[in-house]
Structure 1
Amino acid sequence: MKPLSPASTLAALCLSLAACAQLPLAGDPAAIRSLADARRILGDPALRWSNPDGGEQLAFPQGPMGYRTWMVHTAADGRVLSMENVMSMAHFARILPGMSQDEVLRILGPSYPGWTVYYKARDELVWEWRYCDVWAEPARFDVLFDGRSATVRSTMSQPERLSQPWGRGDRREWCSP
């Protein structure tokens, strides 16, 4: 297999960045009007739930290194009723002690499996999501589940740079529009 030339590598990088830039803004009905549009633009949903009215709720995570999970709500005929990025403090605040794992999934969508950790000594399962915090910094949100009951024990979040030695790693440009 022949390696890519520097020009080809640069072109591929530009195309992939342009594709990311083309993701619609939350709630933009002009960009995504139907389930078919959502699948064409965002790909296949990671999770989907059927609603009693015949509509669906679909989760489209843009991770692991992305900062968005699009939650799309559709009517029975496939029209998009709403679409929003659920990687926000408003959605994180809805996660309360005692909630089930399914309830968390319906609010935030799936966490990245590679960041799921079980701590045997605490009998605790931790799910983690990446997001841009209110200061436009990459951050992580964790939900800690009791291992026995599989319900939320607590939550926490912190900017990614705090996990770097001496607070290095300011990546605010990654969260800029």
Structure 2
Amino acid sequence: MKTAALVLCAALLAGCATLDRDARLRPGESRDADVMAIYGPPTRVWPEPGGGRTLEYSTQPRGKHCYMVHLGADGRLIGVEDGLSPASRARIEPGMTPEQVSRILGNERSRVFYRNSGEEVWDWTIEPEQSGYGMRFNVYFKDGRVLRSGQSMVFPSRFFGLDD
């Protein structure tokens, strides 16, 4: 009975692993096939200079992470980063193109165009700085370039499922 309980606990803990903390994936050893065997097909695949690739695993619209799995030209794992981490979000600068933003942050939660200002706003669900509300990271584009970025709070709705 104890053995069955230990096996169940180990299986549950393995199911909680995230790409950036998964002990089964080892830089320099693990390959693209290993990543895809565990996490399935990526949201997108980005080609990198020198023949490498970045596998994008976005959890949008409801998740708060976008794991970018960097692979060398030989298909071996170089490293994993969360594209929606504060450090990654800080890399977004005025003048960047939509593709440059997507390569850093991954697939967005939504896009809205505001006709009066001529701005298109993309947003991502991100980890809040404290509990009690949701948080979004917003990137404002005008004429195909980043104008500015910022954060907005999403307060829970009194109506279930209507706080998107």
Same fold (TM over 0.5): yes
Measure, in 1, the Cα distance between the counterparts of 2:112 and 2:139.
11
**3-state SS of paired residue (1:73):** strand
Residues 74 and 82 in structure 1, CA contact (< 8 A), matched pair in contact too:
yes
Residue 45 (structure 2) pairs with residue 51 (structure 1): no
Contact 1:58 1:73 in 2 (8 A): yes
2:76 maps to what in 1?
79
Structure 1, 43-52 or 122-131: larger mean CA deviation: 43-52
**CA drift at 1:23:** 3.4
- Aligned match of 1:144: 140
* Matched pairs, number: 143
**Aligned pair 1:95/2:92, yes or no?**
yes
Within-5 A mapping of 1:25-40: 25-26=19-20, 28=22, 30-31=24-25, 33-40=30-37
Return the alpha-carbon distance in structure 2 between the equivalents of residues 125 and 160 of structure 1. Answer: 19
Aligned to 2:9: none
Question: Counterparts of 1:158 and 1:41 in 2: how far apart (Å)?
Answer: 34
Task: Indicate yes or no: 2:17 matched with 1:23.
Answer: yes
Q: Distance in 1 between matches of 2:14 and 2:59?
A: 9
Residue 160 of structure 1: how far off its partner (Å): 1.8
Measure how far apart 1:101 and its partner are: 0.7
Partner of 1:159: 153
2:69, 2:79 within 8 Å by CA — same for their partners in 1?
A: yes
Task: Give percent identity, aligned residues only.
Answer: 32
Distance in 2 (CA, whole Å) between partners of 1:19 and 1:86 is 24
* TM norm structure 1: 0.71
State the SS of the aligned residue for 1:91.
Answer: helix
User: What is the rounded CA distance, in whole Å, between the counterparts of 1:125 and 1:73 in structure 2?
Assistant: 29
Q: Distance in 2 between matches of 1:48 and 1:30?
A: 21
Match of 2:4 in 1: none
Q: Is 2:57 the partner of 1:63?
A: no
- List alignment gaps of at least 5 residues for structure 2: 1-11, 159-164
